[in-house]
């Protein structure tokens, strides 16, 4: 069995530590970062730490019971799927962290792991307040479409996580780009469409979405670009990355169309969903330095809805009932390294 070395005085200098391969000395030094983006993302993550107890969920059960049957179904199936996303991401991050060589990048991943656990806790708090926690967390046992999407996401995560080569590590990072950048977004927009009808759910999703889109997606976008920049990546591997995001788009639209067919809601159409997901996918490809491959259209209403709620410090709270922390504004370029 290989022995784990926690300290290697003959290891790489901190400024020479790449993301893939090598042998670090063992120090985490935030004053000497090989990249600019890692410590910046860490600082923004840390500044924006929040906890589910800070969101007022005292009226969630009463508000949920006022929703129509279709709205209640969308609410439950959305949170059933989102809660799996964060649970799977937390476990995946633990495995991906083992593949990484650069100690500062590993530290940022550690903080993201904590935030994913916090997201899982938030779903439990929200659904417990709503009174349907056990039902929602067990929906995968009864809904074939939900179970199929969860399985497909899980398989994409598992496909390259064993590592062993820089190309596998790159594709493993791609799986996280898909999760943070594709699989959450329709779910976020559904809850925002419900809006003031379920303020507890809306405000909890605001915090979660800001974590995912303001720091988690930029983190893995930069990991992808950096691995590609530092190593000779096979053309076939880049082709595989394109195939992975095409699969992600299909998975997301399949589940979205299922929900829409079963539970029509608030003017959402298959065409609107397709345009939205294609626009998101093109944006994610640009963020990782690849060319867009989907038909680009004008920004959709669902995209604008998600962007609107990314505006900082909009979460409303009752001063006497909750203490929603302000969400720090970013003044750094997270896509620069």
Q: Is 255 a catalytic residue?
A: no
Of the residues 123, 183, 280, 327, which is catalytic? Answer: 123
DSSP, collapsed to helix, strand or coil, labels residue 24 as strand
- Distances in Å between the alpha carbon of 7 and those of 13, 20, 30, 59, 85? 13, 18, 18, 52, 35
**CA-based torsion, 132, 135, 138, 141: positive or negative:** negative
Please give the Cα distance from 214 to 50 (Å, whole number): 14
Question: Which of these, 167, 145, 104, 178, lies nearest to 261 by C-alpha position?
Answer: 145
- Residue 215, Cβ density class (10 Å: 0-12 exposed, 13-18 middle, ≥19 buried): buried
N-term to C-term CA, the chain: 37
Q: Helix 144-158 to helix 69-99 angle, to the nearest 10 degrees? A: 10
Q: Which residue has the tokens 């938030």?
A: 122
Please give the Cα distance from 193 to 189 (Å, whole number): 6
Alpha carbon 223 to its chain centroid, in Å, reads 14
DSSP, collapsed to helix, strand or coil, labels residue 289 as coil
Residues annotated as catalytic (active site), given as ranges: 123
């Amino acid at each position: 069995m290989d022995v784990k070395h926690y300290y290697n005085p003959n290891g790489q200098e901190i400024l020479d530590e790449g993301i893939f391969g090598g042998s670090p000395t063992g120090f985490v030094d935030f004053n000497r970062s090989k990249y600019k983006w890692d410590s910046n993302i860490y600082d923004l993550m840390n500044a924006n730490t929040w906890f589910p107890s800070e969101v007022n969920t005292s009226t969630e059960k009463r508000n949920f019971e006022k929703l129509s049957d279709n709205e209640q179904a969308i609410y439950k199936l959305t949170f059933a799927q989102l809660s799996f996303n964060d649970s799977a991401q937390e476990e995946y991050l633990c495995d991906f962290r083992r593949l990484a060589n650069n100690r500062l990048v590993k530290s940022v991943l550690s903080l993201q792991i904590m935030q994913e656990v916090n997201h899982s806790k938030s779903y439990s708090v929200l659904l417990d307040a709503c009174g349907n926690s056990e039902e929602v967390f067990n929906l995968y046992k009864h809904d074939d479409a939900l179970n199929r999407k969860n399985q497909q996401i899980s398989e994409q995560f598992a496909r390259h996580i064993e590592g062993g080569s820089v190309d596998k590590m790159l594709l493993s990072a791609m799986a996280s780009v898909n999760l943070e950048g594709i699989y959450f977004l329709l779910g976020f927009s559904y809850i925002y469409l419900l809006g003031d009808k379920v303020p507890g759910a809306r405000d909890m999703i605001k915090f979660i979405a800001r974590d995912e889109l303001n720091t988690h997606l930029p983190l893995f976008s930069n990991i992808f670009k950096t691995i590609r920049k530092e190593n000779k990546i096979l053309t076939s591997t880049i082709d595989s990355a394109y195939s992975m995001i095409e699969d992600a788009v299909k998975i997301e639209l399949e589940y979205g169309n299922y929900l829409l067919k079963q539970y029509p809601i608030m003017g959402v159409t298959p065409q609107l969903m397709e345009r939205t997901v294609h626009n998101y996918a093109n944006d994610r490809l640009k963020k990782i330095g690849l060319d867009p491959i989907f038909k680009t259209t004008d920004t959709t209403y669902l995209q604008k809805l998600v962007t609107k709620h990314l505006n900082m410090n909009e979460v409303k709270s009752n001063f006497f009932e909750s203490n929603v922390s302000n969400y720090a504004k970013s003044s750094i370029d997270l896509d620069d390294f």
